[in-house]
Structure 1
């Protein structure tokens, strides 16, 4: 260990003086014997010192490089663990959301008396500006056939139009060629719900045309499926949507209303295919309580 003392300071001053002298001599041109001898002497003194310093510093350098390498590996491990944790949390979140959707679907099926086969919407095909069809991951092996009603926990999704052994194609209620027999909540007034807009009607995802031009209908009125013969392609009582605008279209013989769908077609996931309809029309029992009704129950 270097100690600060008069003797050590004198030794350091001599070394510095010799170094300066060697630099001056080394910069002079020619091969003067005196210069050469001084240079050799200087190397004899300084090379071992420099080597000693390098030898002393090498463990520190190696330690620093080792720490850097270990730190980089540790950071990489932590980043991978963090990414894995995020993926697990995302999967758990998706599973939780699907469990909630399944609960809602089973609740709707129970209220309506529908026997269903659960499925997942796996692909969507967009055409003519509408999400016309989805493919689901069940087919004829699970009892699914064309002209069966498809629902989710909120209401009507559409109907099966093609069925393979393990997959099926569902045409959505919003398809421009879709037509569903409908009934107004709390009445016997009927009409048809078409996908998209009708000529002269408002821009809409669903449009209701009532057969009776004199039928009173207001915004906020809810609409359910009327039901088809023997439940194909539509079983009765499934919520379709809510009226939000009413008008009489020029040239139409019926009142036209824009309907907000009960189903969020942009985020379809868990659905159910109704393989057996109800024994009797559930009427409005599948509709969820209105907010004011829920307030009344709480009070």
Structure 2
């Protein structure tokens, strides 16, 4: 520890004087044996320390230069590509999981209805000749699919096959204006027809139910299933079609009209099933999912 005393002050004054003298001598042109000796001694003392500091800081300096240099740009590009690949893999895994869930629901519906189905994927929406609302599926005659077969998914009725090739088929959706499906009310057994789009004089709708009995009791919340065609072509019985949302009687009409909320989300079709063999018996209402109040009671 350096203490303030008369001796220390004298020592400090001597050191200052020596330093000034060395600076003056070193500033003169030409070599000076005194300052040269002092400088050499300083190099001997401080050179090892300077070398140690340089050695210690070299990795940090190199790292900084790499971060700023071209190698870092390449590394960033590699990381961005790796992240993009990972996102694609996660997206594919999510899609596969969703499709597996849809397939599970489809098989559940087929089991309840006693339908033999061929699973397929709705590849794209198309506009077939004479039709406004159709999709192409990735299965065809090679898989036993032919025109006038019912198409369903895990929620209910999608439509019917209108054309089929070896590896693809065209499906007219139930929402197409040319679509007409024989239908039956869930509880009352009253029958009618579900048409695609809005019926003349009826409410604006994707699906419109026309009941043949003007006195038939029908109210919002009632559910509709397919009535079934002769020998199951083009429609097998018991497939959920939708739920009544609004009822009205057109002036002068001989039937009642109702707006139907489709059981199927037609905007996000993916996994579907073509019914290649209908049930031995009409499943009636067994394919319909439990109502929320029924699930609460169970």
**TM-score scaled to structure 1, two decimals?**
0.78
> Is residue 107 of structure 1 aligned with residue 108 of structure 2?
yes
Q: How many residues align?
A: 249
Give the Cα separation in 2 of the matches to 1:170 and 1:250: 34
Q: 1:11 to 1:90 in 2, by over 3 A?
A: farther
> Is residue 85 of structure 1 aligned with residue 48 of structure 2?
no
Give the Cα separation in 2 of the matches to 1:8 and 1:131: 101
Give the Cα separation in 2 of the matches to 1:169 and 1:242: 26
Q: 1:65 to 1:176 in 2, by over 3 A?
A: same
> Is residue 153 of structure 1 aligned with residue 170 of structure 2?
no
Give the Cα separation in 2 of the matches to 1:286 and 1:243: 17
- Structure 1: runs of 5+ lacking an equivalent: 16-55
Query: Helix, strand or coil: the match of 2:119?
Result: strand
Counterpart of 1:166 in structure 2 is: 167
> Is residue 189 of structure 1 aligned with residue 190 of structure 2?
yes
Give the Cα separation in 2 of the matches to 1:168 and 1:206: 23
- Structure 2: runs of 5+ lacking an equivalent: 1-18, 30-53
Counterpart of 1:124 in structure 2 is: 125
Counterpart of 1:143 in structure 2 is: 144
Counterpart of 2:6 in structure 1 is: none
8 Å Cα contact 1:131-1:174 kept in structure 2: no
Moved over 3 A (4+): 5-15, 62-67
Q: Show the 5 A alignment for 1:1-299.
A: 63=62, 65-67=65-67, 68-125=69-126, 132-297=133-298
Query: Helix, strand or coil: the match of 1:259?
Result: strand
Give the Cα separation in 1 of the matches to 2:20 and 2:156: 96
> Could you say what the CA RMSD is over the residues aligned between the two structures, in angstroms?
2.5
Q: 1:69 to 1:221 in 2, by over 3 A?
A: same
Question: How big is each residue's C-alpha offset from its partner over 1:111-154, in whole Å with a ceiling of 9 and x where there is no partner?
Answer: 00000000000010259xx9600000000000000000000000
Give the Cα separation in 2 of the matches to 1:213 and 1:154: 29
